[in-house]
Amino acid sequence: MKRFMTVVVMGTLAGLLSVYTEVEAVKIGYTIRKQEETRTLLLDRSRALKYNIARLKAPHNLERRLSAQRIELQEPASWNTLVLPGRTVRKDAAKQGMLMQPFALKFFVGTARAEAKESASR
């Protein structure tokens, strides 16, 4: 009889342990799914914010906003430009004060050099 009770108790404990592990696995699954949904929403928001930043930095938007404020852009004077040592300068760009940039970098950085100056018509 003692042996039977031991088997019943051990079986019950094993069953409870099995149920507990399954419940914890389901809880962890729900947590993972919720975090993945949050991650997806945050990635979408990040992409939207990066798009908005790129759109606001776009040259045509900047020109439109500057013209609305009556600000004109002019080439910088030679004393306003600085050529860093160790950089190579193209022969045709040396006259304009432009540094040599890789082709792909022009899309991210831009090539226009100008300084803002208040227009006299204000």
| 0.95 surpassed by pTM | no
Cα-Cα-Cα-Cα torsion 61, 64, 65, 66, nearest 10 degrees, comes to 120
Give the distance, in angstroms, between the CA of residue 15 and the centroid of all CA atoms in the same chain.
Answer: 49
**Torsion sign, CA atoms 37, 39, 44, 48:** positive
CB 60 within 8 A of CB 50: no
Give the distance, in angstroms, between the CA of residue 20 and the centroid of all CA atoms in the same chain.
Answer: 42
pLDDT, tens digit only, all 122 positions of the chain: 899 999 999 999 999 999 999 999 999 999 999 999 999 999 999 999 999 888 888 888 888 888 888 888 777 777 777 777 876 655 555 445 444 445 555 555 444 444 444 444 43
